[in-house]
Structure 1
Amino acid sequence: MAGKFYKRLLAGAVVFLALLLAGCGVEIQVSTPSRGGEAGGNLKVHFIDVGQGDSTLIEQDGHFMLIDAGERDQGEVVVSYLKKQGVKKLDYVIGTHPHSDHIGGMAEVLRAFDIGRVIMPEKEHTIRTYEKLLDEIAAQNLKITLPKVGDTYELGDSSFQIIAPVRDYGDNLNNWSVGIRLTYGETGFVFCGDAEKEAEGDIVSSGLTLKADVLKISHHGSSTSSSSKFMDLVDPDYGVISCGKNNDYGHPHKEIRAMLKERNIKSFRTDELGTIVAASDGKSVTFPGQETGDSAPSEAESQDYVFNTNTKKFHFPDCKSATSMKKENRKTYTGTREDVIKMGYEPCQICNP
């Protein structure tokens, strides 16, 4: 009883002191302890399959960030995927650089969700896709935050630091890419858009910590990126490559595939696996259902599908594309996703990404 009395007495004294100081014009702020890396649940990083482009969703404890949004025709794909993950607000949207395969679908994303902060480099482009994005940013009364190397932002119990662009790169849009290092507990992820070797050299020279468990391989696996010194400092266990199936650029290039193998970096590719999800508990990173590079377990389950024999795409029966399909192009099938793909059909990127 005495212990409770003294606790109440102490609490009363604190309140009295606060009121007294407030009366003297002194502002009192009561802070709560940081919850640390374990309290808010896992961090998840979704490398969304947008074909030959980039789009990554990061979530932690109900907070979300999107890096890029693929080509313009992928805007609906990205929005649909985000809604399936329960996204209503994006704390941050990062447009790494003004190439259409990174910012093409972003205007549609801005229209679909509440947006906290938009981060883009101070490099303009004359393509209509970029101009439309700027128009949408203005229409939503949003402001662009310019990336400053070293600046750090919080996302739930995780945080990320800006690591690029380090300087002015003239007309090389790839090197203007916004780069970040995301950390959660003891784990880290690095994303650098399409940054090439010149920009990577500047990132290395900046002296910032780059070590990470996962590296989103820059420029879709092009040999113009992933320089030796940069890879030495990041030293990832896993690499994720976002590229389109049978793309015209030959991504990922054989030099990059060989480099990843030589460094014993386990790689995952969206052109082979579709959307890839990595999870961190603050101590280690896993790729649920994909640790062996195999497709997700759902691919082995029988489903009802509707084929479009004209477009060579397959859909779930309730997909709007399936319900509006011409009768002469419509074909139904029950089997596994893997079997359907082997038959030469590609998944609908809206109902079955």
Structure 2
Amino acid sequence: SKKIKIIYLQYFLLILLVPLLILWKGKELKITCLDVSQGDGIVVEKEGITCLIDCGSSDIKEVGKYRLIPFLKSKAIGAIEYAFISHSDYDHLSGIYEILDSMPRLKDGNFQRSYTGKIVIRNLILPKIPTYDESFQKLISLANEKGVKIHFFSTGDELKWNGVTLRCLHPSNNYVTTSNNAHSLVLYLNYGDFQGIFTGDVLQDGEIAVLSEIKKIRELGMINSEEFIEFLKVAHHGSNTSSTEEFLDGINPIYSVISAGKNNRYHHPHPLVCTRFHNRNLSYDLTMDLGAIEVITDGTLMKKSSFITERYDN
């Protein structure tokens, strides 16, 4: 009968789809831009390896306790293999400092989560710059005390795992630091045909350096040659100190995220920056509107979703 044929067809489609879903699940790379209000906090996951790119907030006390750790525990993540800190401003590292401060001392990078119940960081990656301010020095001292390995990245340095490459685009070894924001670590992520850029609070001169580096490594065939980037974490919370017309035209991002808090005193994102995106028909979302924003890719396709994390008065 017709009904039986429809049921058989449904089972047939299910049999076809299940392997595809399993294949997608095994290949997926997840990027979650957490809602940390006025600050940055990005979690990158791929096949059991978790990276953190900044985590801090200037207006949420204990952002690690109330935003980052609940998210990690909801994903059964007990360890951050690599924590990148773009620069030493409080709104980019306060949550990372919380985790370091509360975690047990590691021995050869190992720990017993069942015993401690704590999230730990195994490796800390900082921009390689001539001098480190008091905030960075305090962080480095604490990381050493906890047995965390520290690495310093400059242009060209890479981290690779499970088909994923995170490459430093800025700062270069000869870059002269003018401010904390200016020497922000800028990272290029490549996974299959997917490309993403994480910018910290980099300023306009840093964006020019990034464009130059992208052009160079494209010409060398080291990265995807497409004249666009799939994902961009917009620099400096959408401040007009960054996201120049030249930069947006140079990377032509398909989808961007701006991390900023509602009614923040800096008035981020700046209307002029929003206008630049609108004039180019570039799609972007704000964490203040959507909450945490998740981008998932299998290296070819990309999908996005969002969710509101439980909010605490603090």
Normalised TM-score (structure 2): 0.76
Task: Tell me the residue number matched to 2:140.
Answer: 134
AA aligned opposite 1:287: K
**Does residue 1:102 correspond to 2:110, yes or no?**
no
- Mapped partners of 1:280, 1:198: distance in 2: 31
Match of 1:51, SS?
A: coil
1:210-225, aligned counterparts within 5 Å?
Answer: 211-225=228-242
- Mapped partners of 1:78, 1:199: distance in 2: 28
Number of residues of Structure 1 aligned to a counterpart in Structure 2: 259
- Mapped partners of 1:152, 1:75: distance in 2: 27
Task: Tell me the residue number matched to 1:303.
Answer: none
- Mapped partners of 1:40, 1:119: distance in 2: 27
**C-alpha contact 1:181 1:189 (8 A) present in aligned 2:** yes
**Does residue 1:287 correspond to 2:298, yes or no?**
no
**Does residue 1:67 correspond to 2:73, yes or no?**
no
Task: Tell me the residue number matched to 1:125.
Answer: 133
- Mapped partners of 1:174, 1:349: distance in 2: 29
- Mapped partners of 1:240, 1:109: distance in 2: 25
1:227-266, aligned counterparts within 5 Å?
Answer: 227-266=244-283
AA aligned opposite 1:84: S
Normalised TM-score (structure 1): 0.68
Task: Tell me the residue number matched to 1:208.
Answer: 217
**C-alpha contact 1:44 1:280 (8 A) present in aligned 2:** yes
1:131-170, aligned counterparts within 5 Å?
Answer: 131-166=137-172, 167-170=174-177
Task: Tell me the residue number matched to 1:55.
Answer: 41
**C-alpha contact 1:191 1:216 (8 A) present in aligned 2:** yes
User: How far did residue 86 of structure 1 move?
Assistant: 1.8
AA aligned opposite 2:147: N
- Mapped partners of 1:218, 1:126: distance in 2: 23
User: How far did residue 131 of structure 1 move?
Assistant: 4.5
**C-alpha contact 1:64 1:155 (8 A) present in aligned 2:** no
Task: Tell me the residue number matched to 1:174.
Answer: 181
AA aligned opposite 1:274: G
AA aligned opposite 1:50: V
* Higher radius of gyration, 1 or 2: 1
Match of 2:241, SS?
A: coil
Identify the structure with bigger relative contact order (alpha carbons < 8 Å, sequence gap 6+).
2
Task: Tell me the residue number matched to 1:22.
Answer: none
AA aligned opposite 1:126: E
Give the unaligned 5+ runs of structure 1: 1-36, 291-295, 300-313, 316-346
User: How far did residue 184 of structure 1 move?
Assistant: 1.4
Task: Tell me the residue number matched to 1:183.
Answer: 190
1:86-101, aligned counterparts within 5 Å?
Answer: 86-101=76-91
User: How far did residue 66 of structure 1 move?
Assistant: 0.2
Task: Tell me the residue number matched to 1:5.
Answer: none
Task: Tell me the residue number matched to 1:197.
Answer: 204
Match of 2:55, SS?
A: coil
CA offset digits 1:242-279 (Å, max 9, x no partner): 00110000100001111111111111101111111111
User: How far did residue 158 of structure 1 move?
Assistant: 1.6
Match of 1:136, SS?
A: helix
User: How far did residue 39 of structure 1 move?
Assistant: 8.3
Match of 1:176, SS?
A: coil
Task: Tell me the residue number matched to 2:114.
Answer: none
Q: Compared with structure 1, are the counterparts of its residues 185 and 197 closer, same or farther at alpha carbon in structure 2 (3 Å cutoff)?
A: same
CA offset digits 1:104-127 (Å, max 9, x no partner): 111222324343321102342224
CA offset digits 1:59-91 (Å, max 9, x no partner): 011111001111362121212211212212222
Say what the alpha-carbon RMSD is for the aligned residues: 2.3
Counterpart among 73, 82, 85 of residue 75 in structure 2: 85
Give the unaligned 5+ runs of structure 2: 1-22, 104-117
CA offset digits 1:291-327 (Å, max 9, x no partner): xxxxx5xx7xxxxxxxxxxxxxx96xxxxxxxxxxxx
Counterpart among 3, 18, 26 of residue 40 in structure 1: 26
- Mapped partners of 2:26, 2:313: distance in 1: 31
Task: Tell me the residue number matched to 1:348.
Answer: 312
**C-alpha contact 1:177 1:193 (8 A) present in aligned 2:** yes
Task: Tell me the residue number matched to 1:13.
Answer: none
**C-alpha contact 1:239 1:268 (8 A) present in aligned 2:** yes
**C-alpha contact 2:192 2:300 (8 A) present in aligned 1:** yes
Q: Compared with structure 1, are the counterparts of its residues 104 and 114 closer, same or farther at alpha carbon in structure 2 (3 Å cutoff)?
A: closer
